[in-house]
Amino acid sequence: MKMPLIVQKFGGTSVGSIERIHSVAEKIIEAKNDGNQVVVVVSAMSGETNRLVDLANQIDCVPNARELDVLLTAGEQVSMALLAMTLHKLGYEATSMTGYQAKIHTDSNHNNAAITHIDTTPIEALLEQGQIVIVAGFQGVNHKGDITTLGRGGSDTSAVALAGALDAQECQIYTDVDGVYSCDPRVVKDSKRLPQLDFPSMEEMARCGAKVLHLPCVQFAWKHQVPLRVLSSFEKGEGTLISGEECLNDISGIAIQKDMVLIECALEELSSLISQAQLLGIEVCSVIEETERAAVVIKRDASTKLKLVFAEKIRNSEQVSLLTVVGSRTQDIVVSSHGLLSEGEVDVQHHLLQQQSLTLVVSPDQVDTAANILHKAYIVARETQGYLKKEVHFG
């Protein structure tokens, strides 16, 4: 009978020192000794990718994209070799592979490439010999044989793509938190770890600011039905299992996006503002279309570019934050959320209701208060009193 195969991915902090690499090796050995074939994906040691970016920027603020990829992939190459050496020292056979060696093919979009296909033959050959295979995350190779990278945070995507291609039982993402939380615990102290989450809710959370998983990773896992588990590399626990199509909860969580900018223009200019943003590759996170005003909300980093291009047509721009409540029943909390926030003296500038989310635009100095109010009402209270059910029942 074929042994079950699991893919384990370890992020930068998990491989941040020789000591930590040692504990990662122990986790891998545990999985191997449980009778699994194990493929491991590693990130660069924490801080390393930033250090390399910084070196490149000392030469050129816009370095050559191909060469930047050559430079950045070195970070993961260090971790994979150190981890393989540690496993050898502990008596286990392991081989490390770059993206190129593991035949992870991508398009040619340097610095933000997408995986097109993976030829699993070399990895499978090593697994058959009983080896632990360690693959460098965040990197691949294009049709010309040039090294590419998948965009910052891309190792999650490498792991899930490998899990899909190898038909793994589960893709485990080990990180510095012990799962996906109902909100950012730094903002809302009583945020809760979610034991289970469905793909649509996780995708919405990742798209709207939850940083725990790279968005393409979630999308890939959903598309290929690869069960994902987010776990802590430092503590024991079940983490969060992400699987399934059905939205599990009335309200699953609240995602926060700080550092956003709202750019206003005349109503008749709105569609050209949106196409301009698309041309520049800027993601429009929210569109506001009212009788009196039209606006888009984008990330602050991208706003300078858009303002330059759209210049005189911009009526006003201001910093805002977005709060996105995710779940299957967000349509039922539009009225009550506005009520609760106005009681808490939070001014909601705009809201956007989508199938599984309700996004609220608030000012940056009120976003933390707003997140706490909504979390208390819809997540804490739901667990203790079935708050939402009552509202839906009588509403």
Q: Under the rule (CB under 6 A), what is the footprint of ligand ASP?
A: 11-12, 43-44, 49, 75, 137-138, 152-155
What does 137 bind: ligand ASP, Mg ion, none (CB cut-off 5 to 8 Å by kind)?
A: ligand ASP
C-beta of 22 vs 152, nearer to ligand ASP:
152
Shortest separation between residue 309's beta carbon and ligand ASP, angstroms: 28
Unique residue bearing structure tokens 């038909």: 167
DSSP per-residue string spanning 140-152 = EE-TTS-EEE--T
Segment near Mg ion (CB under 5 A); pick from 150-158, 249-257, 312-320, 363-371: 150-158
CA 205 to chain centre: 9
The angle subtended at Cα 361 by Cα 360 and Cα 366, nearest 5°, is 100
CB of 203 within 8 A of CB of 250?
no
Strands (E), 183-267: 196-197, 228-232, 240-242, 253-265
Q: Which residues pair with 173 in a beta bridge?
A: 9, 230
Shortest separation between residue 78's beta carbon and Mg ion, angstroms: 17
Segment near Mg ion (CB under 5 A); pick from 10-18, 66-74, 77-85, 341-349: 10-18
Nearest Cα to Cα of residue 171 among 116, 218, 233: 218
Shortest separation between residue 80's beta carbon and Mg ion, angstroms: 16
**What is the Cα Rg of the chain in Å?**
23
Residue type, 276: Q
Q: Does 154 bind Mg ion (CB under 5 A)?
A: no
C-beta of 13 vs 356, nearer to ligand ASP:
13
C-beta of 43 vs 182, nearer to ligand ASP:
43
Q: Under rule CB under 5 A, which residues in 166-195 are in contact with Mg ion?
A: none
* Nearest-angstrom CA–CA distance, 93 and 134: 11
What does 154 bind: Mg ion, ligand ASP, none (CB cut-off 5 to 8 Å by kind)?
A: ligand ASP
**Tokens linked to 366:** 């009120």
The site that binds Mg ion (CB under 5 A) totals a number of residues, namely: 2
Shortest separation between residue 49's beta carbon and ligand ASP, angstroms: 3
C-beta of 11 vs 327, nearer to ligand ASP:
11
Count the neighbouring beta carbons within 10 Å of the beta carbon of residue 59. Answer: 9
Shortest separation between residue 46's beta carbon and ligand ASP, angstroms: 8
The region that residue 336 occupies, defined by phi over 0 for left and psi between -120 and 50 for alpha, beta otherwise, is alpha
> Which position among 16, 99, 153, 253 is part of the footprint of Mg ion (CB under 5 A)?
153
Q: Does 253 bind Mg ion (CB under 5 A)?
A: no
Residues that bind Mg ion (CB under 5 A): 11, 153
